[in-house]
Structure formats: structure tokens, C-alpha cells
Structure 1
């Protein structure tokens, strides 16, 4: 609430002179009226505060929370978790949230006690008290504690958070003389998310005074393993799901194109070892409150009208359902544009792509009805159309929208297969394009970010950008299709989680830096190397290059500006070169060791480029000094390091071993210009 104060008036004693008594009375009357109005205004503000409970919020002063919450303030009390901590958890509280909180607190606390009732007796005996649970209307210790730490600045955001799916409140204060934190969820998943926020906000054993009321704006937020290339290992999927949970994602779609049992051999049952992998994936999802969806892709050779193919698809889904999966997708992407069997060609006569859409809708509608009868606990069926990008109409899309059951969700990649931008206007148009007249379709975006199966010689390590902040108004969800390298995809996935949780508050740069800091795990040298390496691999879309290697570019520009004006060159470029030389070693210090393995070919190239940059800087110094021998030696070192950076070292699925491309062209351009300076000075 803003504080309004009247400006003081200055009154002078002595004669009023020519003002006259009547004018003086009028002025005094106006002053009296102003006083009455000020009193009325103050009364309104006070009454408003009494009714709404609103007051000025204290600014929050602790670590930043990602994803950005809907509401956060510094109201409450700072808490110490390093001593004794008492956890008050009802037995009905979500098991994953209980386990996550216990693990988190034991990392910092000297002693942890768990009870189901509020502490009694000596206030100091319990230490810091943490209440965890899902809010119920029936009262109890959690609700009592939540009322006890109610912020004076509560503006209804807590009510909003605890009234929305996956919402939660995290609040600090003092209850019955005890330092207290309350983690309350609107549902079990919200309760789990409250623990994830506590993980982000704890600074060692300290928690700054904080009051959070939060909920996601987008319903489905997640990752789709949907690329062409080597499918991820069980260990990698588990690590990705753990990271997704920390960022409050809720969906993982299993759809690797090179799993033969979901695409090329979709009719065949899974062998026992593959069933074990899917079961492990489901278990990892359950402990992280992530729904695992399964994508069956029969489009390469299906006969849509054949009853046996419908039976086979239903049986395959039932076999995976038995492993605990409740969400299913039927991708019909990346297939031919026509019908492949005579029965379909004679039955579906709309012609061309419209006939294909007619057949697909027929099959999917019958499959949906079958699943609803046989497996009634399923989420709404989803599909990927053969024409899966663009919001413009076509014969295929119009027929699919008209014939496809309105309850089936369509996955869409945006205006392009790899979309530069995804706008709310385009998403809204796609709802109409894939829907029936007057009945917009539910759309989920399959976002080909930061996937690199189309450019396996590159890493795309940028934050997700150019997605409208209000897409949540048009979509039921968004999922990120990451790189073939699972661990290297983790920072990009984290930024995607931030964007989908709270799009209007999303800051790409801040989000990416927070993800890198989390991956570095407190190691300052590793973080510096990770930032420098990430900077070299920003070019996600090969034809859209807004900021190549921005930090390196800044150092290069500063160097050339000084060099060409005869001034002393800044140390930044040489320092960056030395850091790049250490990248392969320092990346092994990250919290996730798989990252260094994933990027080994690119980090080796970065190290060679670091050597080349350092040698080129020495060469230019010798050119400036006119020292031909020193310049020649540095030139030789530059060329040797540059050549080492482009050795074929990265295996691919279909292109053999390729050069691991890094530097976004900025390193290469600097080296070319430096060598020209040498040639201009000494020839050669």
C-alpha cells in the first residue's frame, strides 16, 4: 500500500496586508476542505487494509527462485536450518514430498526429528519447525501453522495458489514462539513443488525471510525424447527426470524415433529387457511427480481401416499401460503423404492428403473409443498430425479438424518444424486450423528446442527465446524436444521449465545463468568454464543467428578497438583464451559428470581454440612490436591449434564421425583477421 502524506503548508505571522479578511477566510475554508478530504482518504485506506489484509510487503533478499513465482516477498522470519529441525508431517502427506524434504533437510541440519503433531512445551526444544502437507478444509497442524505465519501483505495470492492445480505456499514466521516454515500444497504435486522451492531458497543452512504463493500458468510442462539418434540410457533418463522435478516440470513423453518397438516394429511386443527400461522410467517419474507418456508411432505401414491393426495398437497400449503409464500419443509424423494399403484407398475417398486425414481420424476415433472402454483411467489421447507445423489451412488439416474427435489433443511444432518464434496469435490460429468450425482444438506444442538431430555436429546451449509470455492462454501445454546429448540438454531444459511455468516473468539470460550455476554446484572455476563453453554454442537455429558467442564477441570487439587505435589491448580476450584451454578439465568438476562426457568432442575443440586465441594474441603483440621471429613462432602455434580444433571426433548416427563445430564462427573470424594482420606485416 502506498503511503500518502500531505505536503506541509508554511504560514507566516504578521500583517496580511492587502489579502483582506474575506480572502483569508476563503483560503482557510479551502484548507479545511482539504483536511476533510485527506481524513476521508486515510479512512478509506485503513478500512481497505482491515478488509483485505493488505499492507506493504517487505522485499525478498535471499537467493532467486526459479521458475519465477507468481508472488514472492520478504515477509516472515529468517530461519536457521543448520541446528535441530523438527518436521511436522501427517502420514497422509505425499510420499515423494516427504522423502524430498527429509533428504534436503538432512543435508544441512545437525539433527532432524519427524512428528505428526505440532511441538509442545519448551519453544526452543524443537529448533526450527517445518510443516509439510496438502491443505485440507478440515483444519489440523498444517492449517493452524499456515494461519500463524500469515503475511500482513497477503493479498489473496495464497488463496489463489491453494485453489489452483499444482499450486503451493511456502511461508516463514513464528508460531507459538517457534521459528517456523510452512510448505503447503493445493494437491500432492503442489506439496512436492513447495519442497523444490525450499531447495532453491536454502542458502547453506539459512533461509531468508520469505513468503511465496505460486502456481503454474501452463498445464503440461515437460520434455519429449523425440529426436532421431541414439536413444537415451536408463541412467540418463533418470537424471533428466530428477532435473525436471527440480524445475517443476510434470510430463515426460517417451518417443525416441530409433526405438524400433514404437515405430519400425510397432506391432511387436517389447522384450523383457526393454520392458524393464520402461518400468524404470515410470518409477523415476513417480518419485518426481512426473507423468510419463508413451508415443506409439504406427504410421510407416499401418492400414488404418484394418481391424487387426486397431487391435494390435490397442493391445500394445494395454501392455504399456500395465507398466503404469496413463498418457498416450499417436505420432503420425514423418511418414508418406498417402495411403499404403488397398483397403484404405477404397474406403477413404476424399483424395490426396484429405484422404490421409480422413483415414487417420477414422482410426484414432475408434482407438480412443476402445481405450475409453478398456482403460478408463487414461488421460485424453493425443496425436501428432502428418502436417504438424504451420497455422495456415490445408486440405489435410481441414479434413482432420472436421473428422477427428474433439477430445483428442493435437501436438504442433509451431509455424515451422524448428520454430524461430511461437506466438500466441499463431497458436490461437492453430486451434482453429486443427479444429472443427466453431470448435477450436486443444493444442500442445512439441517444441523442437534445443534438438540437434538435424545438425549432429553442433551443440545448442542457449536459453529458449522468442516464445510469447501469454501462450498459456492458447495452449494446454508445451514440451521441449532436447538434444541427443541428455546431460548437455539440462540447462536448456531448465530454461524451458521457467518459460512454461511463468511466461510473463521469464528472463532468458537470468534463467540460463541460474541453470549453469545449479549445474556447477558451487564450484566457481567450473562455473566460469561452463559459462565460457556455453557462450561458444549459442547458435541454436542455423539460419537465425542473433547473438553469436556474445561474451567472446564482446572481448574480441574490445581487443580490436584497442589494437587498431594503437592503445594497450585489454586482457579480457587473453584471459578467456586461457579459460577455454582448461574447459575439458573444469567441466569434469560439475555436479553432473555426464555433462563432460556428452560434450567431450566440443570441449576438446574449445580448448584447442583457446590455445589458438592465446597464440594469435601473442602473434599480434609481436606484429605490433615488429618482432618477426616471435610473430612467426606464434603464427605456427596458432595454425597448429586451429587445425587440431577441426579434427573429426564426434560420432553420429548416419554421417560417420564429424567435426565438432563450436565457437559460433566468432573464434574462426578472429583467427582469420589476426592471420591477415600477420600477412600484411610480414607477408606469407
Structure 2
């Protein structure tokens, strides 16, 4: 069973150009993806400066994105992270949220996501306040589907280390207080889960009182550590059996728009093939489809260097790889060269300020 597939553009780092995003929309729509949620962390009017709203020129870009998604047969959604709205959730916060939800509705959204990921969790009545904000927004928007992402969006103890110990029964309370129609994003047993299985998803669904929508942190490669690697291999560790346990499956994309579409195309293959899925063959099929035979073979040969060795440890291989891909007139090859030149590498400071 293949669940509804989507993309949640919820990463840190460089924001794609309009051309890059259009390529991703058309490529994923053709592969069967059904929704696109826009919410990059670096888009400040959706996060750090959520109360201010977008400039007119940016609104026009987002309206075009909405139209492109819908024309391609995908639902279009936008994600807002209302930093500071829960404590206090007072008249000012309500007025600001009402205004911003109306702004997003005017852009043209089918889905609204209200996110609390990567925010402080050591706050009183956290689940109750977050549910109140989400339900408030749900009662205002013209969007027909509502999503949220909890502060503790995984079992991963790193979230407790960074954002404070999670409140007791946080998921259970959040699930009881959220409107039953609200979908909840979840990344799995880890922030970047190596494997996602039916038993884990069934347990979380029991806690929340609803199946989760997966926020799959692959092939995302943001942050100071992951941006040193290109995530290119096909999906693994997502057995087709999990389709019966989720409301949807969205991927968080890589910084590199064209290269990231290679693994993205393998997720629907994994669901369709079930037990017959072979991730090496799936990579080859997706890469040939997007890059052509010769380029695909080259990239498969260089997978260990680009995905496993990483930028700092390439050493003398950097110049060899640069010369190899600089001669290819293709956007994906230019993304490899850009990465080899260090242009897409991130720092911890960038993450902390986005």
C-alpha cells in the first residue's frame, strides 16, 4: 500500500530559486507525489519574523508556486512556525496569527501546517498551549487540511538534550487536545531515522490517537555536519508495510534540488515493489531517468566518495571530481561542483539564526 506521498520543504540552509523549486514540483508530481508543503527555515516571515509577513515580490513568487503545484496535480501547503505565540497565547498573539493565516490563505493554500519543531520545550503546559494555537488557526483558515509538528517529533533523546526534557505524556496530551482532523508530523525513532517500522508507528499512533504523517529526514543534508555529504542513495529502511500505518509520507529535501530528486524518485518505487525492492537498482533507474545513462554511471561510481567520505576527507580527490563533473552541462553536475567548491556547506551559526 502506497500512502499519499509529499515533500515538506522544512530544512535549514539556502532557499531554492524559483527555477529549482519548479523543477522539483514537476519531477515529483510526475512520480506520483501528491502534496508540497513550503516552509524553509531560512524564510524568516514564516519563522523568526512570522508576525511581519512577506514582501509583495515574495508573495507573487509564492502565488506562482501555488499555481504550479495545483497545475501539476499536487496540493500546496505552507508551514508557519509561530515562535513565541504559545507563551503567552494572548490577544496580541491571536491577532497576529489571524492576520498571518489570512495572508497565507490569500496566497492560495490547500494545507496549513503550524510547526513547533526545533523550539524550546521547557515551557509550562506545552502540549495544551500548542494544541490551542493549532486549533485556533484551524478555525480560521480556508485550507482544508491542517498539520502540526510537535516540539518532540521523535523518540530521539537528542531532542531532550537540546530543547529540554519532554513533558510527561506530551504526545498523549497533545493528541487528546488537538482537533481529531489535524495531522501530526513525526520523523520516527530518530530525528534522521535509519529505519522506520510498523511496530514503532503503531505505538506512536496509539499515543496520539491517530496515525502520523511521516516527516522523513532523508535526503535532507542541512546543518554543519550533514551538509558535508551529498545524500544520493535510494531510500532504505522504509518497508512498504509502513504504508498502512501512516496518513502520509513526506520527505525533507536536500539542499541540492536536482540531485535530491534522485532518491526522491526511489520512495514510490519502494512502496510499489514491496519485498522485491532493491535499492541499488532503484538508484540506477532513477539516476538514468533524470541524468541520462553516462552521467548516471559516473555518479554511481562516485557514490562512496560523495555520500560516505564527505567534503573534508576527500583530499586530492576533490580536484579530480571537480574536473570530472565540470565538463557535464547539467544542473545536477553543477550542484556537485558547487558543493565541491564549499558553497553549500553550513555552519552551526546559520542553523541557530534561521
Match of 1:583 among 314, 324, 334: 324
**Do residues 291 (structure 1) and 65 (structure 2) align?**
no
Partner of 1:140: none
Partner of 1:241: 25
Partner of 2:333: 596
Question: Displacement, 1:389?
Answer: 0.3
The question of whether the paired residues in 2 share the 8 Å contact of 1:236 and 1:487 is answered with yes
The question of whether the paired residues in 1 share the 8 Å contact of 2:198 and 2:242 is answered with yes
**Do residues 362 (structure 1) and 116 (structure 2) align?**
no
Match of 1:389 among 154, 179, 185: 154
Larger RCO of the pair (alpha carbons < 8 Å, separation 6+): 2
Instruction: Say which one has the larger Rg.
Output: 1
**Do residues 419 (structure 1) and 188 (structure 2) align?**
no
Partner of 2:315: none
Question: Displacement, 1:501?
Answer: 5.3
Cα distance between partner residues in 1 of 2:72 and 2:273: 20
CA spacing shift, 1:581–1:363, aligned 2, 3 Å: closer
Partner of 1:345: none
Partner of 2:347: 654
**Do residues 447 (structure 1) and 226 (structure 2) align?**
no
Structure 1 gaps of 5+ residues are 1-216, 340-351, 436-440, 542-578, 605-647, 657-684
Cα distance between partner residues in 1 of 2:97 and 2:274: 37
CA spacing shift, 1:429–1:304, aligned 2, 3 Å: farther
Corresponding residue pairs, total? 333
Match of 2:286 among 515, 523, 528: 515
Question: Displacement, 1:410?
Answer: 0.7
Q: When the two structures are superposed, what TM-score results if normalisation uses the length of structure 2?
A: 0.85
For residues 6-85 of structure 1, the aligned pairs below 5 Å read: none
Structure 2 gaps of 5+ residues are 158-166, 311-319, 350-354
- SS of equivalent to 2:77: strand
Cα distance between partner residues in 2 of 1:307 and 1:505: 56
Match of 2:183 among 387, 406, 409: 409
The question of whether the paired residues in 2 share the 8 Å contact of 1:304 and 1:362 is answered with no
Partner of 1:432: 206
**Do residues 495 (structure 1) and 251 (structure 2) align?**
no
Match of 2:305 among 525, 528, 536: 536
**Do residues 468 (structure 1) and 239 (structure 2) align?**
yes
Partner of 1:306: 90
Question: Displacement, 1:503?
Answer: 4.3
**Do residues 479 (structure 1) and 250 (structure 2) align?**
yes
Alpha-carbon displacement from aligned partner over 1:587-628 (angstroms, at most 9, x marks no partner) = x24xxx2212211055x6xxxxxxxxxxxxxxxxxxxxxxxx
The question of whether the paired residues in 1 share the 8 Å contact of 2:117 and 2:149 is answered with yes
Question: Displacement, 1:499?
Answer: 2.9
Match of 2:174 among 397, 400, 404: 400
CA spacing shift, 1:394–1:500, aligned 2, 3 Å: farther
Alpha-carbon displacement from aligned partner over 1:259-307 (angstroms, at most 9, x marks no partner) = 0010011111211111011012112212211111100110345445313
Root mean square deviation of aligned Cα: 2.9
The question of whether the paired residues in 1 share the 8 Å contact of 2:9 and 2:37 is answered with yes
Alpha-carbon displacement from aligned partner over 1:182-240 (angstroms, at most 9, x marks no partner) = xxxxxxxxxxxxxxxxxxxxxxxxxxxxxxxxxxx334202111111011111100000
